Amino acid sequence: MADSLDFLWADEGTSQAPVKLRCPNCGNLGEKSPICFARPGNSPAWSLLLCPDCTAGFYENQTVSDYADEGMSAESTTYFLQQGAAVSIFADILAHIQKPPGAVYVEIGCGFGFGLDVAQHAMGWQARGMDPAELSAIGRHLLGVDITPAYFDPTTVPSGSCDVVMATEVLEHLPDPAGFLREIRRGLKPDGIAVLTTPDIAAVRPAIAKPVLSATLTVGLHLILQSAASLEFLLRQAGFTDVRVESDGWKLTAFAATVPLALRDDRRARQAIAIRYLIERSESRAQADDLYFGFAGRAFFEAVSAQDQASAARIWNNLGPRLHNRYNIDLDTITAKIEGKQAADHGDISALMPLNLAAIMLARAYQRLQSGEARAGLLPRFAAINAVCAPLWAWLSQLRIGDMQTRQILWVAQAEVVLCIAAQGRGAVLTMIGRLPESPTGAGRDAIVRRAVEFLIHGERPNLATRLARQESLPHMRQTGDISTSALAKSFAREMFYRARQKLRG
Ligand SMILES: [Zn+2]
C-alpha cells in the first residue's frame, strides 16, 4: 500500500468544495473541508475530511474492513517474531500502570499477544485478549497467552470487571469510536484504567516522510484519525474524568480513568521493568528460535540504550553464541565485503540472518563504544551494518514489509561512519557528510553535522572543522547535545510497534 499511494494535498490543484457530512467522531453536521486525497491503486478517490468541531479527520468513505481472514506470509511472521515488534512498546505503556499482581487485564484487538505477555510476565496480571486475525492464533500457541479468536463482544466483558482495558491501534478502524469507549468504561472497575494508542492526525502534513504518512493514512482500513484534542474529548464524553493524552508527533497514547490517574512517570523505572522482562523472556526460550531473537534482540537494544552495561553483557553472553550457532554470524569479525555480497546474492535472506540484525549490530557497536573503545576504531563495525543489512532492507521491501526500523538504523550507521571518520580527523569527512541524506524520520542530520564539527575540534583539526561548518552553512559553532541512544531507541521502538500493527491491521 505504501508504494502505490497516489496522493494529493487539498491545495495541490484540486478544488473539492467543503462537504456537508456528519462527523462520525463527534456528530457535528456542518461543512467539512478536505485535508488530502489518497487514491490507492485504481480505487475511487478517498478524501480525508477535517471536522472543525472536534478536530479529528475522517474518510468520506467509512466502509469497515474485515480483518478476520487476514493471513500472513511465512516471511512476515518470521519478521514479526524476530523483530520482537511491539513488545518493548507494550512494556513501556503497561509499566505506566501501578496495579498489583492478579489485576484483571483485557486487551481488545490484541494481535499476536505481546501486550498480554507483558501483562502476564512483567506485571503479574491475569491477562486475556480477543482478536480474530491469524497472527493471534500463532501468538496464542507460541506465547501461551489467552486469546479468543473473535472481534470484541461486549457481552464477554462483565460490567465493572477489569482493572485495565487496553486497545492499541484499534480506535482508528472503528466507525463508532465513542460507543467503543463507552463499552470500555462499562467494563472497568471504578478505579480501572483504559489505555489506548492510535495514530495522531498531526502526522498528516507535508513535512512528514512519505512512508510514515502513508502508514498513518492507511487508506481503506483507517476510518477516523484522532487529534490529541478529539481523543480527549471522546474519552471525557465516554465518562472518563481523568484523561492523559500524549503525542510523539505521529502517535497518540491515552490513559483514562474515573478516578485520579496514578501513573509511573519515571521513565528509567519503566525501562528497568521492560529490560528485566525482556531478559527473562529471552532466557525462557530453550532454543534459538525466532521468538528468542525477538526477545533477546529487543532486550539487547533496550539495555544498551539505557546504558545498562550489566544487562547488556548478560544478554550478549547468550545472544552472541546463539547468533553464531544458528546463522554462523560473528559480529565482532563480520567482514562487510563478503557478508554483504553474500546477502545481496542470496534469495531468502531469512536463512542468512535474523531479520533484526541491523538493530543487534548497532547495539553491539554502541555497547563497545560504551565500554570505552575508541570511536575511531569502530569504523568497520558501523560500516558493516550498511553492507550487511542494506540487502536485508531491500529484501524486506521486495516482500512489501516496509521495515522503517531497519531503514532508520541504516541511516544511523551511515551517520556513525561519518562520525568515525571525523574522529579520525580525516578530510574525507567533507565529502562523506555531503553524501549523508536527511534521516528517514526527517530529523537528525543537523545533529550529526554538529557532532562531526565537535569531533574535529576536539581532534585538533580546526581548519577542517571550519571547512565543514562552512560547507554545511552552520550558523553558530556552539556545542549541541548528542543524539542520545535512548531517544533513538524510543523512536525505533515506536516505529516497530506501529509497523507491527500495520502488518496485523493492514
Ligand atoms: Zn467531529
| 139: enclosing H helix or E strand | helix 134-143
In terms of Cα–Cα distance, which of 318, 313, 347, 334 is closest to 413? 334
The three-class DSSP label of residue 454 is: helix
Q: Sort residue 344 into left (φ over 0), alpha (ψ -120 to 50) or beta.
A: alpha
Beta bridge partners of 128: 106
CA of residue 249 to ligand 1 center, whole Å: 20
Q: How far is CA 354 from CA 78, 142, 156, in A?
A: 9, 18, 39
| 445: enclosing H helix or E strand | helix 445-458
In terms of Cα–Cα distance, which of 163, 123, 129, 162 is closest to 144? 129
pLDDT, position 498: 45
Angle between helices 445-458 and 462-471 (to 10 degrees): 160
pLDDT, position 485: 38
Q: Which residue has the cell 512528514?
A: 208
Alpha helices in 328-444 (DSSP H): 336-345, 357-370, 379-398, 404-423, 429-434
CA of residue 163 to ligand 1 center, whole Å: 30
pLDDT, mean of each 10-residue run, the chain (506 residues): 62 75 94 83 74 94 77 81 85 97 97 96 98 91 95 94 96 94 97 96 82 80 94 97 92 97 95 97 94 96 95 97 93 73 74 92 95 93 91 82 80 95 95 91 86 90 90 63 39 44 40
pLDDT, position 402: 66
Q: Are 489 and 473 in contact (CB under 8 A)?
A: no
CA of residue 160 to ligand 1 center, whole Å: 29
Amino acid at position 338, single letter: I
Listed in sequence order, the residues at least 6 apart from 348 whose beta carbon sits closer than 8 Å to its beta carbon are none
Q: How far apart are CA 70 and CA 355, in angstroms?
A: 22
CA of residue 487 to ligand 1 center, whole Å: 34
Q: How far apart are CA 496 and CA 403, in angstroms?
A: 8
DSSP string for residues in 190-253: EEEEEEEEEEBGGG-STTS-HHHHHHHH-TTT--EEB-HHHHHHHHHHTT-SEEEEEESSSEEE
CA of residue 175 to ligand 1 center, whole Å: 13
CA of residue 24 to ligand 1 center, whole Å: 7
The three-class DSSP label of residue 350 is: helix
CA of residue 234 to ligand 1 center, whole Å: 10
Amino acid at position 37, single letter: F
pLDDT, position 40: 65
Q: How far apart are CA 382 and CA 361, in angstroms?
A: 8
Q: How far apart are CA 180 and CA 110, in angstroms?
A: 15
CA of residue 230 to ligand 1 center, whole Å: 7
CA of residue 201 to ligand 1 center, whole Å: 13
The three-class DSSP label of residue 256 is: strand
| 254: enclosing H helix or E strand | strand 251-257
pLDDT, position 401: 73
Q: Provide the 10 A C-beta neighbour count for residue 466.
A: 15
The three-class DSSP label of residue 485 is: helix
Q: What is the pTM of this model?
A: 0.86
| Signed CA dihedral, 155, 87, 74, 409: sign only | positive
Q: Are 201 and 218 in contact (CB under 8 A)?
A: no
Q: How far apart are CA 108 and CA 152, in angstroms?
A: 6
Question: What's the topology of domain 74-267?
Answer: Rossmann fold (3.40.50)
Quote the strand ranges of 70-178, DSSP E: 104-108, 126-130, 147-148, 162-168
CA of residue 435 to ligand 1 center, whole Å: 45
CA of residue 26 to ligand 1 center, whole Å: 4
Q: Are 137 and 77 in contact (CB under 8 A)?
A: no
